[in-house]
Amino acid sequence: VAGKNAQLRTDGSFISRVRLKLGKNNIKIRAIDINDNAQDVEFYVIREEFFEETEFVDVDFPPELKAKNPNGVAVVFGIEEYQYAPSVSYAYNDADIFREYLVSVFGISRENIYFRTNDRATKGEFEKVFSKNGWISKNSTENADLFVFYAGHGAPDLRTKQTYLIPYDIDPNYATTGYALNELYKNLGQLDVNSITVLLDACFTGISRDNQPLLADSRPIYISAEEIQVPKNTIVFNAASGVEISSAYTSKMHGLFTYFVLKGLNGYADRDINRQITIKEMQEYLLENVSAQARKMGREQRPQILGIEQDRVLLQY
């Protein structure tokens, strides 16, 4: 099995443990009898779960709340491995665990979550989901609470300072071929939904989580992108402000921002202990804790909030 001998039982059955990498795994089984006759069978297994259970950390077990949100809709993109760019440490784990929070904490049906990672998170998928008549518009109603989560690279256009999300198959040196944040917010603003919450564990400085430059033949210079406006019923949580980078939290196997978002959703952001977390409470919690941990790493990272509905209840538990 996969090039290694398997233990054969007396009844002819066998079992073999095969380590699976993330993504598609081709597995070949060869059976040989006492006369040296051989027969091969080949198949493949796609692995989507990234970590062994023993490698999980505190926030990777979402609380089981009784919330039900039949009108909830979500899009989750997590891109750790890129075709033309450095990897984004723990971005797959960020997306995978946040999806579980959407189900267990926010009560969104799993079938109402559009989930794509790594080589499946292409530019075509972004357009399919966010376009005017795309997946979101076809699957949401006027009562819908929409969540958008993205963990991956962001990049600016050096000339215009416009900001772009970078799908798997886009080269950040050509940022304008990515998915523009202005376009994202424009399309979200045309939706007839109850609320929109966007969480971006990315920065737009041209630097990766591991302090690697995304742009070829350049020193790690920090590019300040232009501020953008978001629709009136939309709240955006950005992992970092201005020229700061979005860091990895290696000991927790998450992005620093995502880790404290998940920690906050476990009740830590409920400052007045009234069993509900407002947008303002979450922002204050993130600003305090992300900034403090970033300083311990020798970095500056201050999460940013965009939008006017800061008294909106993000979570009631």
Give the Cα separation of 197 and 144 in Å (integer): 11
- In the numeric block, the tokens 């797959």 are attached to 92
Give yes or no for residue 270 having a pLDDT over 60.
yes
Alpha helices in 207-298 (DSSP H): 256-263, 279-296
How is residue 107 written in tokens? 């009560």
pLDDT digits (tens, 9 = 90+) for 65-115: 988 999 999 999 999 999 999 999 999 999 999 999 999 999 999 999 999
Confidence (pTM): 0.81
Backbone angles phi, psi at 23, to 5 degrees: 105, -150
Alpha helices in the chain (DSSP H): 91-104, 123-130, 135-139, 181-189, 256-263, 279-296
Distance of CA 294 to CAs 23, 157, 201, Å? 32, 26, 14
Do the Cβ atoms of 282 and 290 come closer than 8 Å? no
Do the Cβ atoms of 231 and 184 come closer than 8 Å? no
How is residue 148 written in tokens? 């958008």
pLDDT digits (tens, 9 = 90+) for 154-191: 998 888 888 999 999 999 999 999 999 999 999 999 99
pLDDT digits (tens, 9 = 90+) for 212-265: 777 664 444 455 555 678 888 999 999 998 778 899 999 999 999 999 999 999
Do the Cβ atoms of 146 and 51 come closer than 8 Å? no
At 72 the three-state DSSP class reads strand
